[in-house]
Structure 1
């Protein structure tokens, strides 16, 4: 048997990592400024994270959701307090796509309707309704296209109001900072307009915080920059620092019933241990404030490089936009300077998604390397 070949791979084989440093099988050290698609929120092999998982593994790795699991309750309480979302309930699952599937399903249950509003350049996952709400026809199979989704431009008030007042929609799903799409954002005025119109038309507002959540934007959730309250919030990536886990935060106006949602592996004991460790580190090391501060520092450094035409994003979810496609630049950074960075649907954008506990010194190293490859 061989692997199903769906990933274009760089010729690098990581074998160990610590913080933002990664070593390959030849002993070469790399700096990780991408965090495996924004997953590594507190750094590779953080000692508290490793200890918490090891301790739990010695006790019990898994049992189903048919028994009491106090770790889930502890996680929900800590997450609510740290995120200032105490008036939500937590449902745990395994990934961002699964979180968005469950969010869309709950919106449909709640309203009795099926159509969804999404936005151009959005990315919400690769499964069923989540991929239907993703603006990428090449990954949307005919079976997924049975879902009815309307894609609108960001920040187009008139187009949004015209569609949402048609009384056909169950949900609006929105990234406060688009990840794969290229770090475009709704304006505060537009996000508040969306929230207002959703409430007026009994449409569920889903904040997709899978990539932008967990402090990455300089607030716990990126929608908090806009002073709105979503009905549902979806989370994953940085939630487990590499352990596969996702979650759905449902406002307390949603009423649960037995069998409404379910999962085999979601919220298992090891997943909870990983998530609790992440919250401990984010809180104890003030990583949200660090993300905000270093995001500002990153933008200051970017201004010094004339080839950079635009800086997009917030906190440590940042993109550098050039007037040329960056594929070769990424290759030079990884092979010549030994630095991992990311790409986007916008082929002229270099994405920067490091662990939230990086330092100014790390950012200085990145920009020195970038200057070298741009010569």
Structure 2
């Protein structure tokens, strides 16, 4: 049987990883500034993380949500403390798309409305409702098309208010920092006004923190650079450090009923063990603070290169926009300097390393990055 060929692949086979590094089947060592697409939060193969999952598997690996799973409450307690949102409720799922799907459904249940507002260049997942509100027509199948999805320009509050006035919008969803959209940070004043207008017109505010959350921005959630308190917050990626888990944080006024939401695998024993381990490591090693400190260093250094049009982001979620395509820069970094980086579109490099990235590793990247820029631009 052949694999369904939908992924453009690097010709690399990783066989081992530790901290901020990976090794391929040929024995090459790579500095990982991609983090498996912002998933690796506490570093590859962290011993506490590995042991926590092994210990749980030796006890019980899975049962359904028809029984009490104490690890779910433990995870909720630790997440509430770490994020400062301990008055919220937690619904556990398997992925970011599933978290957004349930947030949209819950908002519709709560308001009795159908319309969802999202923003240009946003990405919210590949399930039915999530893909319908994602600004990428190439991944929206005919069955996903709906008149209930409204995509507006980011930071344009006047356009938002025009739609809210009809009082038929269930929710507005916005990323704390747009990831696939090119590391675009919403204007704090826009987010704060968004919250005010949502309250005025009875619309719920959803903060999609799937990529920007869990300490990546240098705050636990990126929206915490503002005074906004969303109705719903979605998270995933760094939540499990590679183990599939996602979550929906729900403000206390929204009340559940039995059967409102559901999932077979969400909140299983192993997923919770992974999620608990991540939060324990983040607290013990002060990884949110580390992301802020190392990210500030990287952004300051990168802002000094005239070849870069703009440096954007917070913490260890950094976008480097160039005037021209960056394919050759990334290729040289990967094949010659053994440094993984991410991409957005054709001209933006994304840096999404583990939150445990050290200052020494960051400085090493800067030296390799400068070498590649000097080679390519000298040739030009």
State the TM bucket, normalised to the shorter chain: over 0.9
The corresponding residue for 1:76 is 76
Cα separation, 1, equivalents of 2:333 and 2:298: 17
Residue 147 (structure 1) shift: 5.3
Which consecutive unaligned segments of at least 5 residues does structure 1 have? none
Residue 119 (structure 1) shift: 0.2
C-alpha contact (below 8 Å) 1:116/1:133 kept by paired residues: yes
Q: Does 1:353 align with 2:352?
A: yes
Cα separation, 2, equivalents of 1:148 and 1:327: 37
Cα separation, 2, equivalents of 1:86 and 1:308: 41
C-alpha contact (below 8 Å) 1:118/1:149 kept by paired residues: yes
Cα separation, 1, equivalents of 2:304 and 2:196: 40
The corresponding residue for 2:215 is 215
Cα separation, 2, equivalents of 1:183 and 1:126: 19
Cα separation, 1, equivalents of 2:165 and 2:121: 23
C-alpha contact (below 8 Å) 1:116/1:170 kept by paired residues: yes
Residue 165 (structure 1) shift: 1.3
* Aligned partner of residue 262 in structure 2, secondary structure: coil
Q: TM-score, normalised by structure 2?
A: 0.97
Q: Deviations over 1:3-25 (max 9, x none)?
A: 00000001000000000110000
Cα separation, 2, equivalents of 1:117 and 1:323: 31
C-alpha contact (below 8 Å) 1:132/1:147 kept by paired residues: no
Q: How does 1:232-311 map to 2 (within 5 A)?
A: 232-311=232-311
Cα separation, 2, equivalents of 1:157 and 1:39: 32
The corresponding residue for 1:109 is 109
Q: Does 1:48 align with 2:48?
A: yes
Cα separation, 1, equivalents of 2:120 and 2:98: 21
* Aligned partner of residue 146 in structure 1, secondary structure: coil
When residues 25 and 92 of structure 1 are mapped into structure 2, their CA distance, relative to the original with a 3 A threshold, is same
Q: How does 1:323-362 map to 2 (within 5 A)?
A: 323-345=323-345, 347-362=346-361
The CA RMSD over aligned residues, in Å, is: 0.8
The corresponding residue for 2:168 is 168
The corresponding residue for 2:364 is 365
* Aligned partner of residue 151 in structure 1, secondary structure: strand
Cα separation, 1, equivalents of 2:32 and 2:264: 32
The corresponding residue for 2:139 is 139
Q: Does 1:182 align with 2:182?
A: yes
Cα separation, 1, equivalents of 2:349 and 2:126: 23
Cα separation, 2, equivalents of 1:28 and 1:73: 42
Residue 168 (structure 1) shift: 1.5
Residue 305 (structure 1) shift: 2.0
* Aligned partner of residue 247 in structure 1, secondary structure: strand
The corresponding residue for 2:95 is 95
Residue 146 (structure 1) shift: 2.5
Cα separation, 2, equivalents of 1:303 and 1:114: 43
C-alpha contact (below 8 Å) 1:103/1:234 kept by paired residues: yes
Residue 303 (structure 1) shift: 2.6
Cα separation, 1, equivalents of 2:359 and 2:304: 15
Cα separation, 2, equivalents of 1:36 and 1:289: 21
* Aligned partner of residue 343 in structure 2, secondary structure: coil
* Aligned partner of residue 343 in structure 1, secondary structure: strand
C-alpha contact (below 8 Å) 1:318/1:351 kept by paired residues: yes
Cα separation, 2, equivalents of 1:96 and 1:210: 6
* Aligned partner of residue 311 in structure 1, secondary structure: strand
* Aligned partner of residue 92 in structure 2, secondary structure: strand
Cα separation, 1, equivalents of 2:300 and 2:261: 46
Cα separation, 2, equivalents of 1:337 and 1:293: 25
C-alpha contact (below 8 Å) 1:129/1:147 kept by paired residues: no
